[in-house]
Amino acid sequence: MEEHKPHIDNLYFKAFRAVDDRSACMKFIEGHTHVLEIFGITQITSAKIDWVLNPNVYVILVSAEENGKALAGCRIHVADGRTPLPIESAVGEMDNRIYTMVEERIANGTGEFCGLWNSWEIAGLGIGSVFLGRISIAISTLLNLSTMFGLCAPATYRNSIRGGFRVISEIGINGKFYYPKENLTATALLIDDTVGLGVTHPDEIPNIMQLREKKQQVIEFTGTNNLPIKLHIDLQL
């Protein structure tokens, strides 16, 4: 019998630079690690913790109360030409063309949306794959990224494409890699234009622009359980 989940009325989304808030980074790592362990995944590059010292990493953390336990999160790594993006470390040995793709885009600002996870408490509500994706695409322009990479699992593929990512079919097996384990696949993705959002689904563009234009707001969100949740957004980096 499935354990009953208590309904969550409020969720707080906070964006920050990793080096500015060590304790929040630790909450992120604890939650992300726990979720990966449930699925038996330990060798995944976006789960390495050296990013907490990287001044070019930005974190979005979700909790049910301000400064509370982390219930979900994701990161954006800004490419600096020195520290490889997680996607480079993940698939570079399988297809070294990823290195060139990143290098060619650094001058105009590029990075990666990675480390996406959500906990059991809010799984299935659409918070992780939908809302964190929207926020990351929204703030990519605040970080002066004109393009943004991603490496997604099958569960988040559909929402990534809706948000404006395309499959990087020129690498891997039409963009697919056996990663992080031989029996799992991940798809390499890229947003070619974070400003224009040319291939973003028309229904998603107003949602992304609302987040981009107003850094602090409260949004009434109806989860997939048809219950309302107040989303308290703070994207002041």
Residue 81 pLDDT level (bands cut at 50, 70, 90): very high
Residue 4 scores a pLDDT above 70? no
Q: Assess whether pLDDT exceeds 50 at residue 71.
A: yes
Residue 185 near residue 151 (C-beta atoms within 8 A) = no
Amino acid at 65: E
Secondary structure of residue 50 in the 3-state scheme: helix
Q: Given pLDDT bands bounded at 50, 70 and 90, which one contains residue 47?
A: low
User: Domains of the chain (ranges plus CATH)?
Assistant: 10-234 (3.40.630.30)
What is the pTM assigned to this prediction?
Answer: 0.92
pLDDT per position as a tens digit, 159-212: 999 999 999 999 999 999 998 878 889 999 999 999 999 999 999 999 999 999
- Helix, coil or strand: residue 70: strand
Q: Which residue has the higher pLDDT, 12 or 44?
A: 12
pLDDT band at residue 148 under the 50/70/90 scheme: very high
DSSP string covering 140-156, please? HTTTT-SEEEEEE-HHH
